[in-house]
Each structure stands twice: as C-alpha cells, then as structure tokens.
Amino acid sequence: MKNTLLHITLIFSLSWAYAQPSRLVVQPNGKIATIKQAIALADAGDTILVKPGTYREGNILVDKSLVLVGENKPIIDAEFKHEVITVRARHVSISGFKIINSSVASMHDPAGIGAEEADFLTIKKNEFNGTFFGIHISNSHHVTVADNTLKALLRSDHETGNGIHLWQCSNAVIKNNFIHGHRDGIYFEFVTNSVIDGNVSEGNLRYGLHFMFSNDDDYTNNIFKDNGAGVAVMYTKNVKMINNRFEKNWGPSAYGLLLKDIRDSFVENNLFDQNTIGIYMEGTSRTSFKSNIFSKNGWAIKLQASCDDNIFSENNFQSNTFDMVTNGTMVLNTISHNYWDKYQGYDLNRDGTGDIPFRPVNLYAMIVERIPTAVLLWRSFLVFLLDRAERIMPAVTPENLKDNFPRMKPYDIYI
C-alpha cells in the first residue's frame, strides 16, 4: 500500500519534471514580473505563460524559439513608442495576447508583431488594437497566422499600416483572421505557395487584400467588404481565387477585384455584390471565370482590351447596372453559357439555352465610360430609346462580344 503511494508520487513528480521542464510564469506581482525577464531566463523550446495584467515593457524582442502563451488575454502595451513584439528566431509561437499601441512611423514600419527570418512562426488568437502594422513578417517560411483580430485606429492613409503584411515568404497560412481599419487588410508581396483562407477583411482604407508578385497561392472563403478600393491582385500567375465574397466596395475607383497582369489563374465560385466595379481587369490572360455571382454591381466586369484567352462561363449576372464594358473592339475572350438577367431572348427548343446570342455590352455603358456624368440619365426614356435603337442596329458596341449560349435560368451557386 505504502509502496504504491510512493510509486504514484514518484511518477507524478517525475512527469512534472519532464513535461514542464521549463515553463516560466509571468505575473504582475510574481517572481517573474515582466515578459522580458522571462525571455532572458528561458531557453530555446521553453514555454512562457503570461498571467492576466498589463505589461508595459517597451519593445519585447523574442530571439529564441519560445512559446508565448497569454492567459485570459494579458495586455502588452507599447504606449505608441515602439514596435510591440519583435521576433528574430525560428519556431516561435505567440498566442492569446492583446497587443496594443505600437508607434507610428513610415520609415521602418513598426508592428504589433514584427518578424524577420522567423520560419515556422505561429501567431494565433491574439487581439491587435491601435497598432500601425498589425503583423509584419518578412523573409520567413512556413508561418501560420490564424484566428487573430486586428483593428487599427482609424487614421488617414499614410498614418495606417497594413493588417497582415507578408514580404518574401513562402508556405504561409493566413486563416480565419478579422482585419479592420488598416491601409491594406492583407498584403502579400513575393509570397508563394501560400494559403489565405476564411479571413474577413473589411473597412480598410485601401485594399482588403493587396497581392503582388505572389505566384502559386490560393485564397479561399474570405470576405472582403467595404474596403476603399476592394481587392487588387497584380503581376502574378497561378492564383486560385475561390469561394470569396467581394462586397460593397463603393467609390470612384473601387473594385470588387482588380486584376492586372495575371496569368493562368482561377476566379471561381465567388460572389461580387454591390461593388462599383465587380472585376476590373487588364493584361489578364488564360484565366477562368466560372460559376461566380455578379449582383447589384455598377459594372459587373470592365474588360480592358489587353485581356485575352480568358473564359467566362456559367456565371450569374443579376441586377447589375451594366453587365460588361470594354474599351476595345477586338474581343479575344470566350463568353458563353452565362445567365444574364437582362437577356430577353427565347428558348424554343427548351434546352435551357437561349436561341439568340446576348450582347452584354450596352450602348449606354459605353457612353458612360466616356462621359461619367451621363450615368444620371440612366433608366430614362431617352436612354431606353437609344438602347433599343442600338440593339436593332449595333453601331458602337463590339460586334463579336456576345454570349452565344445564354442560359435561361440562373445557376444554383452556393458560396
């Protein structure tokens, strides 16, 4: 009996010693009162548990492979004077903190968490508030940024940094974050083989997602809403843009999605709703636009003449002011089997496809392209007559921009 008890005690204490060999606890009035102290004491691979409280320690530098865990969201406050946490080591994990009040400087981009050459970095379940950049990661691979909330103070464009900013990274996973009030919600430059999934980026001053020179990435299931200029994807190939929602990006140069010099990509199953321009594209080629919903946009698609070999098929166009507009007369793209709510043709053989082609570019859209003020006369009797005349004798709209197989009923698309 005694023997057994001893045994249990022994096992218990041994397991304690092995499982938590160096777990440091930081507590405002405890033995270790600051995070900096804990980092100094810790060895690589250790865990630092931070108890609730407010920690004002200036800039915290993490230069070892450590796991920082906050209990009940302890607050780390840089009092607008420093970057809050700087990571300069591999295999660092930071989770469960409330990280607030970084300094504001346009020269060296201070962030809530700034990381450089920090492969295998994990940033999870933190709350960022009043930071200039939220998370700024460069030259790091295999990083994970998930379940964070980032809110910037609403300031003018040049006083606000990006929410999640990645530069020269690969194999990153950006998942389920909420980003609000930054310059760009998510910023990718030279980031490859990465995934952006399930994020909500809204109310940012410029782009919800700003994406450049970042090949072979997927972004899926995100919501980009109410951003100053929508989403921009540029100078990239092999991007999969699937299941995203682009909503309410309103303004003179606001796009649901701006595509510039994109090749071999996929834009599928997305919702473009209530944007001034659903998709604006130039220099885009060999890209598939399939099964998207375009609804209530000012212009569903602005297709510049520099685009070729793209395929638009099986999309639903509903309640857009103008479905399509282009600046050229040559059309080198394929448009077919889409549903257009403005289609007024018939289907005599009842195969679900209209018997006469649909021309998505209407005359007045072309006029408005040249004289924006003219939009005020839209839906007037005059415009109605002009449009009818143009439909009977097309003179201005490109002759071969048409859908030869317009669908009679909308597709069932679930996003």
Partner 1 sequence: MPRIIKYVFYDILRTRFILLYTMFLLLSTIAMFQLDTDSSKVILSLMNVVLMVVPLVSVVFTTIHFYNSYEFIELMLAQPVNRPVIFLGEYFAVALSLCFAFTAGVGIPMLMYGSGIHGFTLLYSGLMLTLVFVSLAFLSSVLTRDKAKAIGVALLFWFYFSLIYDGLLMWIIYSFSDYPLEKITLALVSLNPVDLARILMLLQLDISALMGYTGAFYKDFFGSSLGVIFSTSVLAIWIVLPVAIALQIFKRKDL
Is there binding between residue 294 and partner 1 (CB under 8 A)? no
Identity of the residue numbered 113: I
What is the arrangement of strands in the sheet containing 85-87, beginning at the earlier edge strand? 60-62, 85-87, 111-116, 133-138, 164-170, 186-192, 207-212, 230-237, 255-263, 277-282, 299-303, 322-326
From 39-47, 235-243, 263-271, 292-300, give the range in contact with partner 1 by CB under 8 A: 292-300
Interatomic CA distance for residues 186 and 42, integer angstroms: 33
**Of residues 114 and 228, the one with the C-beta less far from partner 1:** 228
Calculate the alpha carbon distances from 289 to 204, 315, 338, 404 in Å: 26, 8, 11, 17
Residues 70-79: contacts with CB under 8 Å, at least 24 apart: 70/95, 70/96, 70/97, 70/98, 70/126, 71/96, 72/96, 73/97, 73/98, 73/127, 74/50, 74/98, 75/100, 76/35, 76/100, 77/101, 78/102, 78/103
| Contact call for residue 376 and partner 1 (CB under 8 A) | yes
Q: By CB under 8 A, what part of segment 61-90 binds partner 1?
A: none
Instruction: Select 233 or 367, whichever has its Cβ closest to partner 1.
Output: 367
Which positions from 332 through 361 interact with partner 1, judged by CB under 8 A?
341
| 379, 391, 396, 399: residue in contact with partner 1 (rule CB under 8 A) | 379
411 binds partner 1 (CB under 8 A): no
Q: Is 327 in the site for partner 1 (CB under 8 A)?
A: no
The pattern of x and - marking residues 271 through 290 that bind partner 1 according to CB under 8 A reads ---xxxx-------------
**235 lines the binding site for partner 1 (CB under 8 A):** no
Contact between 252 and partner 1 per CB under 8 A:
yes
CA atoms within 13 A on the CB side of 127: 11
The one-letter code for the residue type at 402 is: K
Q: Which of 322, 340, 343, 358 binds partner 1 (CB under 8 A)?
A: 322
For the bound state, the minimum distance from the C-beta of residue 70 to partner 1, rounded and expressed in Å, comes to 40
Instruction: Report in angstroms how near the CB of residue 294 gets to partner 1 at its nearest.
Output: 11
Closest approach, Cβ 370 to partner 1, in A, equals 8
Residues within the interface to partner 1 (CB under 8 A): 250-252, 254, 274-277, 296-299, 318-322, 341, 368, 370-385
